[in-house]
Chain A
Amino acid sequence: MNDLPRRKRLSGAASFALAISATLLLGGLAGVGSAVLGDQPGAVGFGLTAALITAALATGFVACVWWWRQIDEAAREAHKWAWWWGGSGGMAVGAVLLLTLMMRSDSQTLPESFGSTPADIFVSGMMSILLFQMAGYSLAWAGWWLKHR
């Protein structure tokens, strides 16, 4: 068995807040950077935007790894359970909406907020699923802790 000396850990809430703050900060910087530098003509602007977004997401991933190492095994179990059941459940609920919209007749138009071009509608669909997954995840996470009190 691994018998390493105990590491001082931040509380789950503190480490979560720190990881989220770092990710939001870097995400904001990447957003500002892509807004400013992405205006460069041609492939340069596209490449710079892709590079900044990649850097922001990589930083977010690193922050997640750090946060995951800060939390204890029960907290990890809660997140794993929430990821599977909440995320999958949320996705299933979101899929009902998306599939229903997909199979609508031509006479039924989508709300304007979904976008007008195929690319916009595609992104709206992805973001909708993500929101449903996050809602399911949050509910399942809270449920896990309520059940294990």
Chain B
Amino acid sequence: MNNRLKVLRAERNWSQADLAEQLGVSRQTVNALETGRYDPSLPLAFKIARVFEQPIESIFSAQGTPR
């Protein structure tokens, strides 16, 4: 699964630790999410969408699916 977490975070000048704090996860988890090596659960994906105030489908996309 692809995601735009790194871009969205950079747009807001947040560090990984800042985002981790808002999501209630560790910085390592944010890193794993950003590199696409770990796919979040549905509740965490909803939380991410809420933090960035964007719909889930604008943040996550299936691998290989054109945006």
Contacts and interface: CB of A to CB of B under 8 A. Distances in A.
A1 B42 contact: yes
Interface stretch (B6-14, B25-33, B57-65): B25-33
Instruction: Give the interface size bracket for B toward A.
Output: 10 to 19
Contacts of A7: 24
A115 interface: no
B36 to A, nearest CB: 10
Given A9-B24, A77-B38, A149-B35, A72 B29 contact: yes
Give me the 6 closest cross-chain CB pairs, A-B, nearest first.
Answer: A72-B25, A74-B29, A148-B37, A148-B32, A6-B24, A148-B38
Interface of B: 24-26, 28-29, 31-33, 35, 37-38, 40-44, 46
8 contacts: A72-B24, A73-B25, A73-B41, A73-B44, A74-B25, A74-B33, A74-B38, A149-B35
